Amino acid sequence: MDDDRPLHGVQVLDLTNVLAGPYCSYQLMLLGAEVVKIERPGDGDLARKLGPEPDLNHAGIGASFLAQNAGKKSVELDLKNPADRTTFEGLLRGADVLLENFRAGVLSRIGYDWAALQRINPRLVYCAISGFGQTGPMRQAPAYDQIIQGLSGMMSVTGTPQTAPLRVGFPVSDTIGGLVAAMTIAAALAGRTRTGKGVCLDVSMLETSLSAMGWAASNYLVSGVPPEPMGDQNATAAPSGTFQAADGALNIAANRQEQFDTLCRIIERTDLLTDTRFAEREARKQHRAALNDEINTALRGRPAIEWEERLSTAGVPAARILTVPQAMELDQLKVRGFLTELEFPGDPNRTLRVTGNGVLVNGEPLRPTAPPPLLGEHNGEYKCPTGEVTAP
């Protein structure tokens, strides 16, 4: 399978930390690239110290690091040290991609601006991920995921009118930034086969987050209608949101007329179809609260799993609301090989489960082939005391 991956033979030098950058390079690794993680000697990626288990954090293999760094190699280099700079430049000459997520201008200040990188390797694809991009009045502002969520307007539409603004429950802006970076790197590599030249990619987490907000942004840009927080309801359709069955919540998205017709038939409320408040799409949106009350009353007669099965079978999107542990145990994920078990770094008595990316290539899931590296684990493969590059 390794040789069949789309990015087999591509080498990525990864200077990134924490999440947006490491998530990007993890996607590239899953697609077949060799990712050489360049880490600060003695400390490494800050994510090594992040996670719910203090012992792992102290050992430099925190859960946050383990989640996004399987299959990569770790080399310690101090880019202010002459010998390590020689090693780094040797690696650059043979690399396809350089990825970093420093604050704008940091790499330039230590001598590796785009012009310098082009002189070292004209075919290099250089990707910089930052909170606001390399240009503009905010380019030097510090940014973490929550800062971007707030500035993008994302938090303003999350929650209910009573609870907003709320942070999305996972670092979505970091993740989106990493995904867009991985996509554009792959596109740049494809373009290089035509031009023979490298390219400089400037990825802004603020802009990628706004782009990913879809209708929340476009409804305002096109129609001048600012989005509002609606909790678990979908602004574009009704009934579409979270409802209450006999034993708990489930989501139903009857966004099309035929789905609404089927829903009413299955819950034995065909009278709703002739009620003028609910007969057509726009009317249902205007009378959403009343419609939801009627549907919730009907749903309370059966458990959520029964409604999920009956509605899904009939073509109405419906599913229970699961916890993360419940989601990870879905048979669907097992069949597709989404999770991979690896040897736990430094602990032969423990296994590590990591996620894939949801893509099958020729029917096979993309999996990491090695556990996350210990700090400097691959120093001997890539550097020697003179600063020369050793052959991996």
Residues forming the active site: 174
SS (H, E, C) the chain: CHHHCCCCCCEEEECCCCCHHHHHHHHHHHCCCEEEEEECCCCCCHHHHCCCCHHHHHCCCCHHHHHHCCCCEEEECCCCCHHHHHHHHHHHHHCCEEEECCCCCHHHHCCCCHHHHHHHCCCCEEEEEECCCCCCCCCCCCCCHHHHHHHCCCHHHCCCCCCCCCCCCCCHHHHHHHHHHHHHHHHHHHHHHHHCCCEEEEEEHHHHHHHHCCHHHHHHHHHCCCCCCCCCCCCCCCCEEEEEECCEEEEEECCCHHHHHHHHHHCCCHHHHHCCCCCCHHHHHHCHHHHHHHHHHHHCCCCHHHHHHHHHHCCCCEEECCCHHHHHCCHHHHHHCCEEEEEECCEEEEEEEEECCCCEECCEECCCCCCCCCCCCCHHHHCCCCCCCCCC
Calpha distance 232→317 (Å, rounded): 15
